[in-house]
Chain A
Amino acid sequence: MSLGGESLTEFERNARVVLEESVRRIDARTRSRLNQARHAALAASGRRRAWWSSFTLMPAAGAIAAALLVAVVLWHREPAGTQPLALDGQHPAVEDMELLTDNDSIDLIEGWDGSFYEWAAAQSDAGAESNS
């Protein structure tokens, strides 16, 4: 008899015999409970695997979710006609940048003359009415 490839002394051989005897004497109640515990562990292992196995459907679920997302985005997108028109073929953002950086525009805002613009609007309305 050996212990992991090493030869055993007589004491170790006897100790093993005694220990194995103590295992043989484990009562039926304890054996039954250990048996139940083993089956519970195997069932738990199965539940875990079954749970993980649901991830095999993940690619299909992901594709469906992505398609739905694209559909929702397209559905809620504003029509092209409502976009602000660019002047002289320029992009609106570029135009805004020019307004913000233009010193003249800032001067105009600083020298805001409300009465002039009100008068100009009234003239414009009067002109439109006389034309019609």
Chain B
Amino acid sequence: MPAALHGDVDLTDPEEQTQTRALNQFLAGVELKAFKIAQAALRHEDDALDAVQDAMLQLARAYAKRPPEEWKPLFYRILENRVRDMQRRRTVRGRVMAWLPLRGEDDDEDSDPVAQAPSLEPQPVRRLELDEAVGALEKALERLPPRQRQAFLLRTLEGCDVAETALAMGCSEGSVKTHYFRAVQALRAQLGELYL
């Protein structure tokens, strides 16, 4: 009877099975939030998906053997590096494209309305309030400096503590506290108290 395989992994090995299952569970738990964080930085859906995919691949290839409690800061560190690379590349591409004739930006966009429909609809009564709050917060986040936005999203959305955030951002815990405090101040100044 042939061995059960996942990729080229022999899933009959209990240790491999456990690790693969743990990694799958971890990635499934962070992928949506990671996508939102990447999207807030890159402001482009496909680029954000690429960044998250690259971060997943790198974590799985290079750090799967590390203790699972280290995965979250490592993953967000990799994601942040990938986002920065893409921003740099975009800046270079922008300079080059400035010399070329204009063309449509969304030539290859998939516009299938069914596929792009929200997967989970909130209650109709609350929907309008949430629509406005989500839109306002996303716009306010776009206006934040990158490090403040990153600190705010890692702490508020992903729930990282100060140490994990510092590891993911590659800075001191003191810097994380400063970035986060300034982000909250700036967002509060723009949004009021975000009453829902």
Contact = CB atoms under 8 A, between A and B. Distances in A.
Interface of A: 3-5, 9-12, 14-31, 33-35, 37-38, 40-51
Could you tell me the dominant secondary structure of chain B's interface residues? helix
Contacts of B16: 46, 49
Interface of B: 6-10, 16, 20, 23-24, 27-28, 31-33, 35-36, 45, 49, 52-53, 56-57, 59-61, 64, 110, 112, 115-120, 122, 130, 133-134, 137-138, 152-153, 155-157, 159-162, 164, 184, 187-188, 193-196
5 contacts: A25-B134, A27-B115, A27-B118, A37-B57, A41-B56
Contacts, number: 156
Contacts of A4: 155, 159-162, 164
B149 to A, nearest CB: 12
Contacts of A34: 31-32, 35, 49, 52-53
B165 to A, nearest CB: 8
A44 B60 contact: yes
Contacts of B56: 37-38, 40-41
A37 B187 contact: no
A40 B23 CA distance: 12
Contacts of B117: 27-28
Contacts of B133: 14, 18, 21
Contacts of B45: 30
Contact of A19 (B112, B153, B184): B153
Contacts of B9: 45-47, 49-50
A27 B24 contact: no
B157 A19 contact: yes
Contacts of A38: 24, 27-28, 31, 56
Given A22-B36, A26-B35, A37-B56, A47 B137 contact: no
Contacts of A48: 61
Contact of B57 (A15, A19, A40): A40
A50 B195 CA distance: 53
